[in-house]
A and B are shown apart, each in its own frame.
Chain A
């Protein structure tokens, strides 16, 4: 394990990742002796400015060899998202329509809802039972005054990947003036991101440091040259006046180092993670009855396993996992602080019997085989423990009660 304590079995890498020791090492000089302001004129500040320049070049190369001046450093992916959407809306007042999806991260959804409140028209595209978008819906949604398309690359909860290559191409072929923005927070470091070859039609892309073993507090935003987008953070002239605020040099350096580590033996690492995830999925589905893999039929991130366990509630599972030192997360209402289960699972019409019983295991390159074994060992018992208490489960025959079984096929409503 990287920097986390050894007794922690960490399966929540879509929430955040442990900081890689190499990243900490790369950051240390800029937290200690190299504290100078990158914008200062004197000699001692020059290496600091150069570190930012190098980091920007690293990010630009990582994203497919784009021009370094298209990369802006921000404080997090949420800031990048705000900058992209608000910046696009402010710069294109003659257009009043945004297309997004029902399953975006709240960073995108809430900004879009705010835009709707401010008089813009927003189309929230639905997804199917596996979390996929329908291209027909997408095409139908494009309008003459569409200003922006904001579609995530992969979903943080289910790991379902959207075909943004195709969607961005369709957008630009329909109307080159429509801006295409993608939130790639979950894919940077997990899937190849090539803004020159596979994603030439994307105008803006957001990503975050802490999802790929950099610390929290740094993100990046790619803005293609010539994109009509106004600055979100206004103030000093940093980042060529497109993102004010003193450069957070240690974290920028850390993010660049994290990106280098992600590039290093990328394919082999992703293959290893996928193999572990597939084993976890196969073993758990074999051992636990009435279990669904959310997004099963869709292309998914190699590190994400989102399970819907029928007839029990997610928090009780997380709590028992926690008791075994295993960290995972759930889209159940009880864990979210609100009273509603995950908007993503609702949009997918996951049946009521399972929508409260979701558990997400998300792996990273630090996940070991032994840790996967540990989950395989304890999770079936955890599920059985709660089913023994469930009024929908036939305890005597260890199966759903007959009347519950029919409910398993009833899709929940995506409204609300």
Chain B
């Protein structure tokens, strides 16, 4: 089974099984194995749904409902996928809880599986004839089932669908004056906005992560990354105090771990200029600049040329010849020698000039 199947989800598989004929079991792919790279290890159904969607075939759900009854977004363009999900209900005049979702639409920025998962979400909802509260029972596991499986590193695409659905139902509840808390419905999209950010790359907070770890039954850092991307980029949140491993330990109890210390790269050091009994690098560069201004540049300018001091490293001077002589190799060599000789005489005999 996929790494992501929540406690809520497992009851739902039964709930949904009554409504849908499950896909034939021989079409379930062994998706738990990690697929090396991409290789498009998608099921035929995922591929078909994607192609139908991008070609805008009848029966697909791309688009956005104007004045929707429920609106939810998840992800961002920086993360690499984002979903805007809207639905329309047939309103029950007496009881909003009896509203039935009749239309669901999506706009998705993301890969093949993200688009297929969005299509799957809308199809599941429309076919079910659910109330928004019932629709909440659709989990990412159901989306994965509908797609005949997803590769492990694409599970987050199905999670995105479930998240956007939750946000849209939350939005519907606000519009219709339904108190979800009173109904015991446990969705808290506001949690994402609060709490300490653990994964900076994908902006995921501690309460959000802990909830996901519990709900989706994530046991390892690899599980977390596969399901919700956290820790998949810079990986600096894996084993630091309060990092992903700590959160896993807090949820499931401590696990034996192998600590991996990533090396850090120090900044380039400044080159040590000369020994102690000599003038300071500051004094040295002042003298070089003075010589450049007083002797060298006027000389070059007489011939329509000029020189720019690029860098000084110890007694190495990097200069860029400009003006009329810049392109001419012979003249360049002559001028380089002239500059070098002048500086050797006026500043320090060890000076070497390198043309940049």
B296 at the interface (CB under 8 A from A): no
Residues of B within 8 A of A123 (CB): 265, 268
Q: Which of the candidate stretches A213-221, A287-295, A386-394 sits at the interface with the other chain?
A: A386-394
A416 touches B201 (CB 8 A): yes
The answer, yes or no, to whether B272 is at the interface (CB within 8 Å) is yes
**B271 lies within 8 A of A143 (CB):** yes
B contact residues around A193 at 8 Å (CB): none
Inter-chain contact B313/A334, CB cutoff 8 Å: no
Choose, from A63-71, A242-250, A268-276, A336-344, the stretch at the interface: A336-344
Alpha-carbon gap, A416 to B233, bound state (A):
7
With a cutoff of 8 Å between Cβ atoms, the chain A residues found around residue B233 in the complex are: 338-340, 416
Nearest-CB residue, chain B, relative to A314:
B111
Q: How far is the CA of A395 from the CA of B55 in the complex (A)?
A: 14
Cα of A122 to Cα of B269 in the assembled complex, Å: 11
The complex places the Cα of A336 from the Cα of B63 at a distance, in Å, of 28
Of residues 69 through 120 on chain B, the ones whose CB sits less than 8 Å from some CB of chain A are 73, 77-78, 80-84, 106-115
| Chain B residues in 8 Å Cβ range of A388 | 54, 56, 62
Q: Do B232 and A352 touch (CB < 8 A)?
A: no
A313 and B110 contact, CB distance less than 8 A: yes
* Cβ contacts A289-327/B at 8 Å (1 or 0 each): 000000000000000000000011111100110110000
Task: Judge whether A122 and B82 touch: CB under 8 Å.
Answer: no
Count of A-B contacts judged by CB separation below 8 Å: 148
Q: Is A130 in the interface zone, CB < 8 Å from B?
A: no
Are A315 and B234 neighbours in the complex by a CB distance under 8 Å? no
Tell me if B184 is interfacial: C-beta within 8 Å of chain A: no
A141: Cβ under 8 A from any B Cβ: yes
Tell me the count of chain B residues lying within 8 A, CB to CB, of chain A: 58
Q: List residues 329-372 of chain A with CB under 8 A from any CB of chain B.
A: 332-341, 352-353, 356
B153 within 8 A of A: yes
Most buried by A among B38, B63, B73, B232: B38
From residue B68, how far is it (CB to closest CB) to chain A in Å?
13
Chain B positions within 8 Å of A94 at CB level: none
Interface stretch of the complex, out of A113-121, A177-185, A255-263: A113-121
From 127 to 182 in chain B, residues with beta carbon under 8 angstroms from any chain A beta carbon are 153-154
Contacts A135-B356, A170-B354; is A391 near B265 (CB within 8 Å)?
A: no
CB–CB A121/B266 < 8 A: yes
A144 located at the interface, meaning its Cβ lies under 8 Å from any Cβ of chain B in the complex: yes
A401 vs B132: C-alpha distance in the bound complex, in angstroms?
29
A2 at the interface (CB under 8 A from B): no
The 8 A CB mask of A156-170 against B (1 = contact, 0 = none) is: 000000000010001
Known: A144-B271, A337-B38, A340-B232. Contact between A174 and B313, CB under 8 A? yes
A173 touches which of B62, B111, B354 (Cβ 8 Å): B354
Q: Does A397 contact B (CB under 8 A)?
A: no
The answer on a CB contact under 8 Å between A390 and B107 is yes
In B14-38, the 8 Å CB interface with A consists of: 35-38
Give chain B residues whose Cβ lies under 8 Å from the Cβ of A314: 111
Complex alpha-carbon distance, A113 and B51, angstroms: 41
- CB neighbours (8 Å) of A227 from chain B are none
A197 interface residue per 8 A CB criterion: no
Choose from B112, B310, B316 the contact partner of A174 (Cβ within 8 Å): B316
Chain A residue at minimal CB-CB distance from B261: A117
Instruction: Provide the bound-state CA to CA distance between A123 and B265, in Å.
Output: 8
Using CB atoms, name the residue of chain A closest to B318.
A139
Known: A135-B356, A315-B38, A323-B51. A390 touches B265 (CB 8 A): no
Residue A142 interfacial (CB < 8 Å): yes
A140 touches B263 (CB 8 A): no
Bound together, the chains give a CA A234 to CA B40 distance in angstroms of 39
Q: Is the CB of B354 within 8 A of A313?
A: no
CB neighbours of B335 from chain A (8 A): none
B37's partner among A122, A135, A336 (CB-CB below 8 A) is A336
Q: Which of B35, B82, B272 contacts A391 (CB 8 A)?
A: B82
Q: Does A285 contact B (CB under 8 A)?
A: no
Q: State the CA gap A339–B269 with chains docked (Å).
A: 33
Chain A residues with CB below 8 A from B111, complex form: 313-316, 332, 334-335
Tell me if A191 counts as interface (CB < 8 A to partner B). Answer: no
| Shortest Cβ distance from residue B167 to the other chain A in the assembled complex, whole angstroms | 13
Report chain B residues within 8 Å CB of A322: 40
Interface centre among B73, B111, B153, B318 (most CB of A within 10 A): B111
A100 to B257, CA, bound (A): 33
- Which are the 3 A-B pairs with shortest beta-carbon distances? A339-B232, A334-B111, A315-B111
A/B interface sample: 16 pairs, CB < 8 A: A121-B268, A122-B265, A140-B268, A141-B268, A170-B354, A173-B352, A315-B112, A316-B50, A319-B47, A319-B50, A332-B80, A334-B113, A352-B77, A388-B54, A388-B62, A412-B78
Contact residues of A with B, CB < 8 Å?
A: 113, 116-117, 121-124, 135-136, 139-144, 166, 170, 173-174, 311-316, 319-320, 322-323, 332-341, 352-353, 356, 382, 385-386, 388-392, 395, 407, 412, 415-416
Other A-B contacts than A117-B263, A391-B107, 4 sampled, CB-CB below 8 A, are: A124-B265, A140-B313, A385-B55, A388-B62
